[in-house]
Chains A and B, each alone.
Chain A
């Protein structure tokens, strides 16, 4: 089968010449104008009728890349939007009542959830990529993967259109586990509110993390995607953590120095950093290193002189670049993250994730490695 499945939907006409700015920005401006016009489209049964939205323009650019070529990010509906009220209805009153509630409130869009700024930033990067490489399929592709039934689908679609997101691929599994589908979508990253599902995904070799909603939210950039990673048990394996937890700091330093030139094993999010790096290189190739819309950060509790070399040498051996590296030697990560303002920060220890969320940074927990068995005491000041 040599044909691109996307072409089945496209017509064989010559590309119309008026599709110049197929960018979302164009249609968004006119959408804002028509937002005030409320048109009643058969709204006798529904409580509120939303404005009629202009359809998005998708010709004149790649908007539906093949999953194996794109960087596929699977998000669950609970992290993309805030659904706490609906969750409570489900837990307290059962599924039939939950479905009825959702259908009743169909035209009320959800509020943005923890993954929302991340997804918005991905789209910003996509527009830049399309400008520079109009025929490339190496873009971010966002798939909504949710336990919900098809009934809730309409509310989700209404919300997506209300916020002007571009999420066209859905997987509504009506109660079955979505993990099987993740592999079929060539998922590069899976974000969910459910720790169990995230653990299943990690066990299948898919980079995954649990996200949490915080009350405080710091502002993040709309033009530059910023992703921050912890080092051990996120980018690297947890071998060093094990030594530290079992034998203490000094042993850890000794071990790191002895094994300076031996690479660390890779961790669950190394693959994701790799694909980010690949996209970054596309910008560098066109001379955009200084204003690259993707920026990566390493925020690690490691100490630079005593254990930093091994981390840096490992990254170099993998051919991966990190834009900024912060070695904290045990200092709290929260204030640093507040300054960085990442769209997402991955860490394996709940202690750090909670600290970040308290300061309003968007953090995601990667439930991997030995740290899951040792809840960190907040008062400890021992660093690595």
Chain B
């Protein structure tokens, strides 16, 4: 909402703003309490969808939803299958201070912004094959992942600020926090982003280092990752993390293939 204010200042007639819709399985009766809470916290949420038990997925498309956040993994998976960027949110274990003036969004690379093709190679053939493959296909862009469109939408709004010369104090900042190694597999990622015409403000290539401490310094309002292992690491250090249940990372828990029986959650 802070971003919306800045946007309205610069472009008073534009409709390109953030619009928040509350989607809930709740019945209409709970609506009163929800509205009271919203007013209590001074939020601007005027659009509601109280589905009284039905699945909200159909409505997501009707609202042209760019991002759907929920605690229910089944609904999120359905949304992703329908092509809508979605993630399961988790509350961090520790509270941390977040910026009130700048929206900070952090993304994992593979299986979030990009497809999981490279993850499959690592998990099945190992690091060296992965590096070979990435070097050979350096100039072939990766396929897109579930959250690419959301980054695109953010980028569009960012460009509006740049156009008015506000690049240095833009109220939207995007981060790429990937376990990839820079010299051996980073070029393909950067070239893919460039070929999509997307810019990312900060890029951190970790080459396997733990993401928790760095996220703690970044303090994003939300961090998207496909592997629960990283989500848990982020949570422990106070980062608000959201799990994107997509790709081959779902079958592996901490690098080990989950037995098929245990996969049914």
Tell me, yes or no, whether B209 is within 8 Å of chain A by CB: yes
Chain A residues whose C-beta falls within 8 Å of the C-beta of B183 in the assembled complex: 56, 157, 160-161, 165-168
Q: Is A351 an interface residue (CB 8 A)?
A: no
Distance in Å: Cβ of A57 to nearest Cβ of chain B: 5
Those of A140-165 within 8 Å (CB) of chain B: 144, 149-151, 153-154, 156-158, 160-161, 165
Tell me which of B168, B194, B216 contacts A151 (CB under 8 A).
Answer: B194
B18 interface residue per 8 A CB criterion:
no
Binds A, one of B64-72, B144-152, B253-261: B253-261
Is B214 within 8 A of A8, CB to CB? no
A311–B187 Cα distance when bound, in Å, is 48
A5 and B131 in contact, given A11-B125, A161-B183 (Cβ under 8 angstroms):
no
Q: In the complex the two chains form, is A64's CB within 8 Å of B207's CB?
A: yes
> B139, B194, B207: which contacts A41 (Cβ < 8 A)?
B139
Q: Are B203 and A172 in contact (CB under 8 A)?
A: yes
**Interface residue? A59 (CB, 8 A):** yes
- B184 interface residue per 8 A CB criterion: yes
The answer to the question of A13 belonging to the interface, with a C-beta cut-off of 8 Å to chain B, is yes
A55 touches B217 (CB 8 A): no
Q: Count of chain A residues with Cβ under 8 Å from any Cβ of B?
A: 55
Classify the secondary structure of A's interface with B.
loop
B127 and A8 form a contact (CB under 8 A): no
Interchain CB contact under 8 A, A59 and B127: yes
Is A180 engaged at the interface, CB distance under 8 Å to the other chain? yes
Among listed A181-189, A210-218, A274-282, interface-contacting one: A181-189
A7-B255, A9-B122 are known contacts. Are A66 and B179 too (CB-CB below 8 A)? no
Chain B neighbourhood of A57, CB < 8 A: 128
Other A-B pairs beyond A8-B179, A150-B199, 16, CB < 8 Å: A1-B236, A5-B233, A7-B255, A8-B229, A11-B123, A11-B124, A11-B126, A11-B127, A19-B128, A52-B135, A154-B194, A157-B190, A168-B205, A171-B202, A171-B204, A174-B201
Enumerate chain A interface residues (CB-CB to B < 8 A).
1, 3, 5-13, 16, 19, 41-42, 52-59, 64, 66-67, 95, 144, 149-151, 153-154, 156-158, 160-161, 165-176, 180-181, 183-185
30 of the cross-chain contacts (CB-CB < 8 Å) are A1-B233, A3-B255, A5-B179, A8-B208, A8-B255, A9-B122, A9-B255, A41-B138, A41-B139, A52-B136, A55-B128, A67-B210, A150-B176, A150-B200, A150-B201, A150-B203, A153-B182, A153-B190, A153-B203, A154-B187, A154-B194, A157-B183, A168-B181, A169-B206, A170-B182, A172-B204, A174-B202, A181-B217, A184-B213, A185-B214
**B interface vs A, CB < 8 Å?**
122-128, 131-132, 134-136, 138-139, 167-168, 176, 179, 181-184, 186-187, 190-191, 193-194, 199-211, 213-214, 216-217, 227, 229, 232-233, 236, 254-257
